Structure 1
Amino acid sequence: MLIRKAVPKDAEQLASLMKQVEQSGLMLFDPGERKTTPEQLQQRLFSMGQESIVFVAEEGQQLMGYLFAIGEEIQRKQHSIHIAIGVSRRERGKGIGCQLFVAMEEWAKDKEIRRIELTVLEHNHAAIALYKKRGFVVEGLKRESIGIGGNYMNEWLMSKLL
C-alpha cells in the first residue's frame, strides 16, 4: 500500500472513489448528491494552496482511500486544518485509514499545524473508534446538524492537538 499526495491525474479515479464512499450514507453528501466532475476535482488539486493537501492510498494503481486536509489562509486559523477521510467499502478495517492519518500528521507537523479537527455522525461507531485510536477527542455535539431521509442526526466535533 502506497500513501502519497494526490496529483491532478488522480482526479477521475478519486472522484469515482468519493462517490462510492458516499454510498455508505455516513458522509456529508447523500449518495449521488455530489456533482463534482473529475475536471473540477483536477482543477482543485492543481490549484490547491500550501495550507491544504489530499492524500490517497493506492495499491496496484487503484485508489483505495483518501484524506483531505483543508487549511485556512486566515492568519489566526493557520495553525488548524479540517479533515475528511474516506476508504473504499471493501478495504475498510485493513489499516488504510490509520496509514492516511500517519501521512497527514507527518505533513501537519512539517507545516507547524497545531490543531486537526473533523466532524462525524454520532452513530458512525467504526469511524469514531478510528479517530479515538488516532488520539482525537470529542469536543462537542452538533445537535441535529445533518438531515438524512427526513430525520435529523447529531454530529460529534472531534479534534487532536499536535
Structure 2
Amino acid sequence: MFIRLAEPSDAGKLVSLIAEVEQSNFMLFGPGERKITVEQQEKHIEVMKRQETSAIFIAEEEARLLGYLFAIGKNPARTKHSVYVVIGIAEQAREKGVGTKLFTALEKWAIEQEIHRLELTVMTHNEAGIALYKKMGFEIEGTKRHSLWIDGKYIDEYYIAKLL
C-alpha cells in the first residue's frame, strides 16, 4: 500500500470509494445522498491541486483505492494556518494501518505547507474513528450538541484538533 496525492484520473475510483464509505453512516452525507459525477470529481481534484493549503491523499494497493483523506484549506489570512480534514476508509481496509498512513502523509505535507492546525468533527458514537484520531495525537476540544439529524434522531459530534 502506498499513499499519494490524487490526480484527476483517480476521479472514477474516488467517487466509488466515497459512495462505499458513506454506507458506514458515519459521514456527513448519508448512503446514496451525495450525487457527484466523475466529471465533477475530476474538477474538484484539479481545483484542490491548485490550492496551496488543500490536498487529497489516497491510499492505493494494486490499483485499488483503500482510503482517502481530504485536507481542505481556508482562504482568510486569519485561518490559513488551519485545514479541515475528511477521511474515509473502505470497510475491508479498516484496522489495517490505512488511516495511520494517510494521517502521517497529511502531517508531513501540512508541515511543508506551514499548516499549524488540523481539525475535524466526528460523531460521538464513532468509536473506531475517535480511537484513530486519538492515536494520531488529536484531542477533543468540544461537543457540537445535536449537530446532525440521522435516522430520526439528533447526533452529537466532537470537535477534534491537532496542533503541529
Is the pair's TM-score, using the shorter chain for normalization, greater than 0.5? yes
Secondary structure of the structure 1 residue equivalent to 2:23: helix
Q: Deviations over 1:34-54 (max 9, x none)?
A: 011111010011122121000
Number of the residue aligned with 2:7:
7
Q: For residue 46 of structure 2, what is the amino acid of its counterpart?
A: F
Instruction: Indicate the SS of the match to 2:147.
Output: strand
Aligned twin of 1:29 = 29
2:109 is aligned to 107
Letter in 1 for 2:14: L
1:146-161 aligned at under 5 Å gives the runs: 146-161=148-163
Deviations 1:50-105 (A, max 9, x none): 21000000000110000000001111110000000000001100000000000000
Aligned-pair identity in percent equals 52
What's the secondary structure of 2:96's corresponding residue?
Answer: coil
Q: TM-score, normalised by structure 1?
A: 0.99
Residue 99 (structure 2) aligns with: 97
SS in 1 for 2:102: helix
Q: After TM superposition, list the pairs within 5 Å mapping 1:72-83 onto structure 2.
A: 72-83=74-85
Paired amino acid for 2:90: S
User: Which residue of structure 2 lines up, in the alignment, with residue 139 of structure 1?
Assistant: 141
- Whether the 8 Å contact between 2:53 and 2:115 is mirrored in structure 1 is no
Runs of 4+ in 1 over 6 A off after TM superposition: none
> 2:53 and 2:131 mapped to 1: Cα distance?
27
Which residue identity lines up with residue 57 of structure 2 in the other structure? F
- Rounded to whole Å, the distance in 1 between the matches of 2:139 and 2:65 is 29
- Quote the residue 1:43 is aligned against: 43
Deviation sequence 1:121-157 (CA, Å, 0-9, x none): 0000010000000000000000010110110000000
RMSD: 0.5
Q: Assess if the C-alpha contact under 8 Å between 2:14 and 2:65 holds in 1.
A: yes
Number of equivalent positions: 162
Q: What is the rounded CA distance, in whole Å, between the counterparts of 1:30 and 1:110 in structure 2?
A: 34
